[in-house]
Amino acid sequence: GEDVEQSLFLSVREGDSSVINCTYTDSSSTYLYWYKQEPGAGLQLLTYIFSNMDMKQDQRLTVLLNKKDKHLSLRIADTQTGDSAIYFCAVLSSNTGKLIFGQGTTLQVKP
């Protein structure tokens, strides 16, 4: 079945760049998303990319998509302590219409 994989934990120093990676198996994916979850809260959409795009930039966020390798990454420039959260990769399958989530990557930002 469809699967989305992420590493579980990433620790960086404040001011450094963070790169969170995600791999997926569904080649029919149309939209790919990054969600952020702060403690005790629901998920909020950070950004998304269409499957026909390679890159999308939005202020400090850069999303890179390698369709051939089914690899998605989220780069956060100048990471701040407020960026500490769990980041979820999610993939929308055009076959099933369902959004499949990865396990989430906990980003820890050290001062």
Contacting other proteins within 33-62 (CB under 8 A): 33, 35, 40-45, 48
- The answer for residues whose C-beta is within 8 angstroms of residue 2's C-beta and 6 or more apart is 24, 25, 26, 91, 93, 96, 98, 100
Contact 83, 18 (CB under 8 A): yes
The Cα 30–Cα 104 span in angstroms is 20
- Please report whether residue 90 would count as binding other proteins according to CB under 8 A: yes
Q: Which is nearer to other proteins, 41 or 59 (CB)?
A: 41
- Please report whether residue 72 would count as binding other proteins according to CB under 8 A: no
Footprint of other proteins on this chain (CB under 8 A)? Answer: 6, 8, 30-31, 33, 35, 40-45, 48, 88, 90, 92, 97-99, 101-104
